[in-house]
Amino acid sequence: MERSRFFSHQAGRTIEVPMHARARFGIGDVVRHRLFDFRGVVFDIDPVFANSEEWYDAIPEHIRPEREQPYYHLLAENEDSSYVAYVSQQNLLPDPDGGPIDHPNVAELFEQFANGRYRMRRSLTH
């Protein structure tokens, strides 16, 4: 399988990536975690795990996801707080509520919410 490489500042190392990784969700999609009670909006996608080893090892082994899948950066919320989450594809589902996310940073990254999705600010796109 052909692979490419990129340097992940978050992981502090070079990551090897399959040339044709398939992300199930896109930037602006509202998603829900499969195991934990939170939802969020996707603002970035890593084609494979690209965080620190300490972060990965902190996940209990019985629920630790595979590395070779897309990982999503989310502006996330639950009943108590708003935060940034890093979640594997296998642990995300489309959000059935389809409503907007009440995260304080949403307006910094996204212009509007329509049809269950956010549109990224034009100034942030290529």
Would you state the structure tokens that stand for residue 9, as one six-digit string?
């500042």
Local confidence band at 123 (pLDDT 50, 70, 90 cut-offs)? confident
**What is the reported pLDDT for 8?**
67
**What is the reported pLDDT for 90?**
96
What is the 3 state secondary structure string of 41-64?
EEEEEECCCCCCHHHHHCCCHHHC
Local confidence band at 59 (pLDDT 50, 70, 90 cut-offs)? very high
Homologous superfamily (CATH) for 24-124: Hemimethylated DNA-binding domain (2.30.30.390)
* Domain spans in the chain, listed from the N-terminal domain onward: 24-124
| H helices present in 37-121, as ranges | 53-57, 106-109
